[in-house]
Structure 1
């Protein structure tokens, strides 16, 4: 081992000529001549660099290779190497991959076609209007998982006399509002609910957002809390 000289024989010595190419091409600066290291990312650039040098010296390739210690010892002693394609871990890894693929396929096949997310304003929870009613704000998001645009009718349940206003969808308070959501899109809407605090059972009341698909008639529901004057703001 060491730098090769013209006419020097490789008999009785290693084939490494100390060209340093394997270190120069390594993106992480690993000197593979010192053995496998944690920083190695398995890119195999050192293998290509070493093989090209071996070709120039008419030496056999494979000085750097993906190999086991047993095969390296066998090759040094002139014995045939063994390659085991099927091992217990091969079947175990295959079974795990099949299970993961099956779970992903199941989730995709039976996923819902719509998702609703409602987030209430927290600062403040509500404001008191001049007519004595309270008004609370919500961010209402609809995830349309179908490949076609859909029109929904949003209504409220749970608090008697509660009305709402959706910004950008008419300027008047209403018991229901139509919402359009594009194909494979997320519709985000600002919803303000007005209600008589006397209709709340205690400091807060459960309010239900009911979203009805106009085409299929399917109704989706999402629960939220409507807080009244009895609630203390943290």
Structure 2
């Protein structure tokens, strides 16, 4: 039975990935930002293990995980958690830059570093759910896009570094997806939110599972998913 550690499982893409893995009998370990969120995740996914670690404070992740019992093995680390705040370079304050870089880039880098010993033993997989903004930046998206461009660089470097250890690294680049984050984006853009116009979280989750389930003779490095409409 495979063991998957997932961030961002509370809603959207991460919740669908966690549910799909649980339904087929895999074990999931869910990272929560605080104890209250961990209790919510435990209610959403009965029987799942939860860990508490705040991606917005990467420097404390090592200490937080050292106080908890990690699983004996991890076959896959799936990074889904993320935050977004739009704004022009002229207007965006440092705090919003720092938060997005921490949660979207530095936190995943540190969590991956801490779990690499377990992933090396299992010759595991790391999946980064990135964004179309990780490939192309647009006006008003500078901080978020910078964090996601950095996430692509992290994945590319990790893939090259850990190939000798049998670790496979995949980046998934979804277009706009019908999630609570997308609803927040529309509020910031001052637009009406119509989820039917966007990719369903289930479609992005299917690409994550494709990367996780690929046979050992192949390696999916980058997957781009776009709405059909």
TM-score between the two structures when normalised by the length of structure 1: 0.21
Q: Which has the higher helix share?
A: 2
TM-score between the two structures when normalised by the length of structure 2: 0.21
| Structure number with higher relative contact order (C-alpha < 8 Å, ≥ 6 residues apart) | 2
Q: Which has the higher strand share?
A: 1
